[in-house]
Amino acid sequence: MDILTTIGHPMRQDWRRMVVMGLMFALLMQVLMMIALMVRFQALPNYVVGYDWIGNVIHIIKSTPSWSDILPIVNQEWLIEIGKMNYDYGTGISEWSLNVVPIRMMVLFLLGALVALCLSLLRRHQCDVTTGTTLRATTGIGTILIAMTNATMSWVVCCAAPSWVVGLAMLGLGVSTSLALESMGPALNLAGFGLLLCTIVYLAWRKTRLPQLINRGLKNA
């Protein structure tokens, strides 16, 4: 209970910062992905398509018999598609695009909020340089894993499926290898959240132990 109380205190005090940082993570991720696509393919997007996300989600819920299938389907539902259309092939084919997926943006919002909580606990917690560096590195690795596996870019070479592995293919990794790694996305995503949550719990635990260590030191003195 002491650990939960320790975590709850900065959440109550810094909830505005957590909300702002969550929104910034979700929005900046979309901007960075779009910049990466334009730089990689040396072209500006020439089309934008909006989708009835709410209506589509309602339709999915009504028409999907199994509740276990609803979330995975909704998780792939688009709100906005921005990309480069090549009209050399009849009515056109999308060469690359950024797909704004509300569920993925919610995940990125949660990521930003957790990072803000980690930083808040680090500011409140006095620890040695080595420990502080390790905790910041752990937070950074968790952040990278979550952000990477929630990328929603598509490229016609990768079967035009919006996926985090498109970024790997764009960086030069073989397409077949990239697509083979796609199934690892959920595990890497969970690993990232696991690292962040473990860091938060560890910082809270250290903070609850600090008064006991000080009292023990005074008694021994």
Q: What is the mean pLDDT of the chain?
A: 84
Q: How far apart are CA 110 and CA 200, in angstroms?
A: 14
Asked if 189 contacts 149 with a C-beta cutoff of 8 angstroms, the reply is: yes
Split at pLDDT 50, 70, 90, the class of 107 is very high
In a domain, 65, yes or no: no
Q: How confident is the model at residue 1 (pLDDT cuts 50, 70, 90)?
A: low
The three state secondary structure string of 164-191 is CHHHHHHCCCCHHHHHHCHHHHHHHHHH
Which residue from 165, 155, 173 is spatially nearest to 38, judged by alpha carbons? 155
- Domain total of the chain: 1
- Of residues 57 and 171, more confidently modeled: 57
Cα–Cα distance measured from residue 177 to residue 37, given in angstroms and rounded to the nearest whole number: 20
- The reply to whether 68 falls in a domain is no
| Residue 12 or 22, more confident | 22
Condensed to tens digits (0 to 9), the pLDDT of residues 112-138 reads: 999 999 888 887 665 555 667 888 888
Domain-embedded: residue 63: no
Q: pLDDT by residue (tens digit) across 83-96? A: 999 888 777 888 89
Residue 70 lies in a domain: no
Could you tell me if residue 56 is inside a domain?
Answer: no
Q: Is 216 helix (H, G, I), strand (E, B) or coil?
A: helix
Confidence grade of residue 157 (pLDDT, cut at 50, 70, 90) = confident
Residue 106 confidence (pLDDT): 95
Alpha-carbon span 207 to 209, nearest angstrom: 5
Note the pLDDT of residue 221.
Answer: 47
Reported as a pLDDT band with limits 50, 70 and 90, residue 213 is very low
The answer for residues whose C-beta is within 8 angstroms of residue 88's C-beta and 6 or more apart is none
Whether the CB-CB separation of 48 and 68 falls below 8 Å is answered with no
Secondary structure class of 51 (helix, strand, coil):
coil
Residue 139 lies in a domain: yes
Asked whether residue 186 is assigned to any structural domain, the reply reads yes
Cβ neighbors of 23 (< 8 A, separation 6 or more) are 109, 112
pLDDT of residue 155: 86
CB 56 within 8 A of CB 26: no
Helix H or strand E segment including 37: helix 15-41
Q: Tell me the pLDDT tens digit for each residue of 188-212.
A: 999 999 999 999 888 888 877 755 5
Range of the domain at 36: 2-50+80-220
Please check whether residue 61 lies inside any domain of the structure: no
Give every CB contact of residue 18 below 8 A, 6+ residues apart in sequence: 11, 112, 113, 116, 117, 120
